[in-house]
Amino acid sequence: AQSVTQLGSHVSVSEGALVLLRCNYSSSVPPYLFWYVQYPNQGLQLLLKYTSAATLVKGINGFEAEFKKSETSFHLTKPSAHMSDAAEYFCAVTINNRKLIWGLGTSLAVNP
């Protein structure tokens, strides 16, 4: 069975600091991996996706993620945090490109 683990339910960074949100997956076959962002009382917005092409994936708002098969990881990074980045971030995996299996989410706080 596929699963996703997001390490750290809450992450706090200072404005301008590096953002690192961790995601590890479990899959017996090559997965597709996604990061989504959710602002309060809103739906989910796709940040980026990995679909077996380049292992370093660039997304919107300056975010990127690197697929590391040996570590079964797909961590999300941003070099410099902005106040507007404060939100809930979800990592998700799909194997058959049908339903998404989600992590529990990481709440990112950005301090001035």
Partner 1 sequence: DTGVSQNPRHKITKRGQNVTFRCDPISEHNRLYWYRQTLGQGPEFLTYFQNEAQLEKSRLLSDRFSAERPKGSFSTLEIQRTEQGDSAMYLCASSLEDGGYTFGSGTRLTVV
Window 44-63: contact mask with partner 1 (x via CB under 8 A): xxx--x-x------------
* Closer residue to partner 1 in complex, CB, 13/57: 57
Q: Does 95 bind partner 1 (CB under 8 A)?
A: no
Beta bridge partners of 33: 50, 93
53 Cβ contact partners less than 8 Å away, ≥ 6 residues apart: none
For partner 1, the binding residue among 16, 68, 99, 111 (CB under 8 A) is 99
**CA atoms within 13 Å, Cβ hemisphere of 82:** 6
Per DSSP bridges, beta strands 87-94 and 32-38 are antiparallel
Q: How far is the CB of 32 from partner 1 (least distance, A)?
A: 5
Q: Does 28 bind partner 1 (CB under 8 A)?
A: no
* CA 94/CA 30 separation, integer angstroms: 9
Q: Does 10 bind partner 1 (CB under 8 A)?
A: no
